Structure 1
Amino acid sequence: MSADRAQSWAYAEDFVAEDEVLLRARGRAAQLGCHSMLPGSCATLTVLAAALGARSAVEVGTGTGVASLALLRGMLPDGVLTTIDVEVEHQRAAKAAFAEAGIRATRARAISGRALDVLPRLTDGAYDLVLVSAAETSCALYVEQARRLLREGGMLVVDNALWGGSVADPARRDEVTTAIRDVGRAVRDDEHMLSTLLPVGDGLLVSVKRSTRA
């Protein structure tokens, strides 16, 4: 990345200032050693959820609630987020962040368990937005489930889609980089999805499920 591009990226990342609730959630993530979505991606996610008028959303990987807060703040006031994480301690931290933000408990449905066990139990075509973190090799399986869950016109968002710049480097062929690169290509080439890759945060792959009606 050139110096000018790096400066522009940093400016965009800080363009929307984060409040104390989000900053404390980030602090908890650092303490617990879990990933949290970068500020530019959070701001983008809030805008996407608002533009979509999202009322129902699913998040794979709650963490300490950083991306959850970004989603909930963009969703409709009666919108409900179903968020899944295998780590109970992480979800406990997320619930603390929701309470600090004044979010009603009924708006955040936290499910503890493996995403691949939970996602198949959710209703087909019932969700406006599904958020997946591409932080592991299971990402392709999560994305496959996500496409099933989305309604027509619903949105799939995959965080970490550039994986620290590794995805764009053809010389990088480690397992996680290869898995994320393959997911991006599969979503891009899916005729039932309309996709783009946004260079915010660590990369957001955004894809809308096309209507099947003529």
Structure 2
Amino acid sequence: MYTSAQFLPEEAISTAEPSGHGKVAAWVYSEAFVPEDEVLLRARERASELGCPAVLPGVGAVLRVLAAATNAHAVVEVGTGAGVAALWLLRGMPLDGQLTTIDREVEHQRAARTAFAEDRVAPQRTRIIPGRPGDVLPRLADGAYDLVLVASDPLGYPEYVNEALRLLRPGGVLAVDGALLRDRVADPARRDELTTVVREVGRTLRNDERVLPAMLPSGDGLLLAVRR
């Protein structure tokens, strides 16, 4: 029997609150607040075996709520991985909604298909596109999507976020996973390329008059923005 706690990164737990353990306990409690079932846990294990990223349980729960709250019929996911985030999104979407998910790694998408089959997701509910997100996203229609999740290749976040804003309808939601980068983004002394890129994405959205942004501490940081 797997548990979500097995998959919480030790580094994130150890750095969540330098001054004490109260915040760490609250974060761990929040991450496990909505337990993952066996289908999600098996998908998470496949992600670990493949070495591909997977949203943490707290982020997954938020994504499911967002999909349900927006009645998201059309969703784009940048970074299929092994299907963990996709399962959470699909469980919040209406049954006639469709998830378009993009990943350059066909092996990852094959694992995601296994997860979808285990969860009895109807084939028409997913559109699985292999390829570089920067090549695929420009082919998607303007203002046609209710929710866009960016959860792959942080160095590509500026490009993907810019495309995501074009894809969203007014009232649509952008979600960017890993926006705190294991607490590095919040540390002004960290100025390596990856940290600088992810930090700048947050600053750009915070100053963009087209959106209303918020930063959640769920998982490894979930940056949200609603398209005006």
Which residue of 2 is the match for residue 120 of structure 1?
Answer: 138
Which residue of 1 is the match for residue 11 of structure 2?
Answer: none
Which residue of 2 is the match for residue 79 of structure 1?
Answer: 97
Q: Structure 2 CA distance, aligned partners of 1:17 and 1:126? A: 32
Q: Structure 2 CA distance, aligned partners of 1:142 and 1:189? A: 17
Q: Structure 2 CA distance, aligned partners of 1:82 and 1:17? A: 25
Amino acid at match of 1:163: L
Q: Aligned Cα RMSD in Å? A: 0.7
Q: Please, which of 83, 88, 112 is the counterpart of residue 106 of structure 2?
A: 88
Query: What SS does structure 2 have at the residue aligned with 1:167?
Result: coil
Which residue of 2 is the match for residue 70 of structure 1?
Answer: 88
Which residue of 2 is the match for residue 194 of structure 1?
Answer: 212
Q: Structure 1 CA distance, aligned partners of 2:93 and 2:183? A: 30
Amino acid at match of 2:25: Q
The 8 Å contact of residues 36 and 64 in structure 1, kept in 2 or not, is answered as: yes
Q: Structure 2 CA distance, aligned partners of 1:190 and 1:106? A: 35
Q: Structure 2 CA distance, aligned partners of 1:209 and 1:51? A: 15
Q: How far does the alpha carbon of each residue in 1:46-102 deviate from its partner, in whole angstroms, 9 at most, with x for none?
A: 011111110000000000000010111111111100000000000000011001001
Q: How is 1:1-214 mapped onto 2 (pairs within 5 angstroms)?
A: 1=17, 2-133=20-151, 135-210=153-228
What is the TM-score when the length of structure 2 is the normalising length? 0.91
The 8 Å contact of residues 135 and 176 in structure 1, kept in 2 or not, is answered as: no
The 8 Å contact of residues 56 and 79 in structure 1, kept in 2 or not, is answered as: yes
Amino acid at match of 2:173: M
* 1:134 CA displacement: 5.7
Amino acid at match of 2:67: A
Q: Structure 2 CA distance, aligned partners of 1:71 and 1:190? A: 26
Q: How far does the alpha carbon of each residue in 1:160-179 deviate from its partner, in whole angstroms, 9 at most, with x for none?
A: 00011100000111111110
The 8 Å contact of residues 100 and 126 in structure 2, kept in 1 or not, is answered as: yes
Q: Structure 1 CA distance, aligned partners of 2:43 and 2:85? A: 10
Amino acid at match of 2:99: L
Query: What SS does structure 2 have at the residue aligned with 1:163?
Result: coil
Off by >2 Å, runs of 4+ in structure 1: none
* 1:136 CA displacement: 2.1
Q: Structure 1 CA distance, aligned partners of 2:206 and 2:152? A: 15
The 8 Å contact of residues 78 and 152 in structure 2, kept in 1 or not, is answered as: no
Percent identity reads 60
